[in-house]
Structure 1
Amino acid sequence: MVSRIDRKQIVDTALRLLNEVGLDGLTLRGIAKELNVQAPALYWHFKNKQELLDEMATEMIRRMAGRLEGGGSGAGRPAGTWQEMLLGACRSVRRELLAYRDGGKVFSGTRMTDGTAAGPLDSLMTRLTEAGFTLEEAVRAWWTAYNFTVGAVIEDQSVHPVPGQREIRDPAYDESERERQIGPEYPLAALAGRTMFGDLEQGFEAGLRTIVAGIEVTMGPDARG
């Protein structure tokens, strides 16, 4: 019998269970059962599920930052041109969130419980302002690209709900069935699904590059030049 638990044990268990049951199936009762304690023991650390989600999202940031600092792929490091930096940062966020079932939904709308995100954000702002962006422009550039990335992850995980198993698709996104339901009255809308829900990696890259190109011509040194 486990007699004592701490916040980290709870969060680590919650993130592991998330991949098994998804966000809707994740409950404090289920986490308590996994830890072999009574549910009230969790309420000592988290008053409700939202507080737990906030801490889970913060732990995702900690792990993300740790991998980059520890010599991982380095895709998110603020190196190269500002365009390369922004592309790399968004790719890193996407890759990390896709590692968790419903990772995009967990991350979206949550509040960080400590200052872990401040370091990476400060590095991004430094790189952009050094490239000639005002601070306001730098913030808007990152916030636009970041929100697109999280939204794209949420859509991706609706189609491919199981992390790391791209061959598994939610049957609701069957292209032929979707086209049959829409019918011949709206032929272009019917065919659009093959692009929207087909190769989601390609769609993300195309959308992200469009956003970066838009930033380049609407703000920063290139727009003013």
Structure 2
Amino acid sequence: MTKPSAKAAPKRRQRGSINADDIVAGAFEVARASTLDQLSMPILAEHLDIGVTSIHWYFHKKEELLNAMTDRAVDKVVRLTPEVRSEDTWQHTLAAHFRAQREIHREDEVLSDLLLIRTSTYSRDAARRMFEVIEAIVAKLVADGFTPDDALKVYNAIGVYTRGSIIHARILRLSHAPTTDTARQRRMIDDWTPMPVLDGLLDRHTLSGTDDEDFDFGIGRLICGFEELPREQGERRKSASANGSDPRNATAS
């Protein structure tokens, strides 16, 4: 009887056949298949079919690798973020910007981990590029009649709303929350009739408030409220001028 031959050991890549870009790309593949927290140098090395020392040649520790991944994530966000155009209204600019941000992060949760949660991994260059995006939006608002202070507050308010929506939706999705599905949420309790308002809404709306309609409603209402700011600012300036004070000091309270 012929003795079965021993299984050949897997052949690794030759030394020097991989570069930093390959390693970062592989790190994204591992993180997307599991989680960013589970990403480790040994697991990445196995995924790439190389020795751990080959990774350490480019990245001495995980934090350095995360920094490089963040740079790559910023590249993607900047590339997919709509251009700020002078001919667009500020309302359209804000709505398009934050809808795009939500879509980008919803399609790639590793970006959310890197850019929304693990913010300490931002390199100076990555931080500069992200702030340049914010500068363009805030400058657009200022050009369209907002004070710089109000413009930044408007951006921050919708930004916090958007980031919260992204993270909240992800938490509910990972926990398989029934409130994200109209059929499942109705089965959460036996009898909804003591709550007639909710009972009439359950088949049309999710209670989680995380679907596209909910997000667009929130963005629209926020923008509608912010439309009053330039008018209020103008009234404060007129009042200050009538009282003999410097109109430039009439800032929002």
- Could you list the per-position Cα deviations for residues 4-57 of structure 1 after superposition, in whole angstroms to 9, with x for gaps in the alignment? 4554333322223333223344333322222233445545525335x5444433
Give, as a single letter, the amino acid of the residue that structure 2 aligns with 1:125.
Answer: V
Is the CA contact (8 Å cut-off) linking 1:216 and 1:223 kept in structure 2?
no
Structure 2 letter corresponding to 1:93: Q
| TM-score, scaled relative to structure 2 | 0.66
Rounded to whole Å, the distance in 2 between the matches of 1:137 and 1:223 is 11
Distance (Å, rounded) in 2 between the aligned partners of 1:131 and 1:88: 16
Specify the alignment match of 1:167 in structure 2: none
Q: 1:150 aligns with which of 152, 155, 163?
A: 163
Q: Which has the larger radius of gyration?
A: 2
- Amino acid of the residue matched to residue 89 of structure 2? T
Taking a change above 3 Å as real, the CA distance of residues 208 and 102 of structure 1, as seen in their structure-2 partners, is: farther
Structure 2 residue corresponding to 1:91, chosen from 90, 99, 112:
99
- Residue pair 1:18, 1:100 contacting (<8 A) in 2 also: no
Runs of at least 5 residues in structure 2 that lack an aligned partner in the other structure: 1-12, 235-253
Alignment TM-score, normalising by the size of structure 1: 0.72
Please provide the CA RMSD for this pair: 3.3
**1:83 aligned partner, one-letter code:** Q
Alignment coverage as a number of residue pairs: 208
Q: Residues 129 and 198 of structure 1: is their aligned pair in 2 closer, same or farther, counting only changes over 3 Å?
A: closer
Note closer, same or farther for the CA distance 1:178–1:81 as it changes in structure 2 (3 Å cut).
Answer: same
**Segment drifting more, 202-211 vs 36-45:** 36-45
Give aligned-pair identity as a percent.
Answer: 21
User: How many angstroms apart in 1 are the aligned matches of 2:184 and 2:72?
Assistant: 39
Gaps of 5+ in 1: 69-74, 162-169
Match of 1:222 in 2: 231
Match of 2:220 among 209, 217, 220: 209
Output one character per residue of 1:94-136: Cα deviation in whole Å (capped at 9) or x when no partner.
1211221353333214142112223322221221111122222
Which has the higher relative contact order, 1 or 2, with Cα contacts under 8 A spaced 6 or more apart?
1
Match of 2:135? 122
**What residue is the counterpart of 2:61 in the other structure?**
47
Q: What residue in structure 1 maps to residue 47 of structure 2?
A: 34
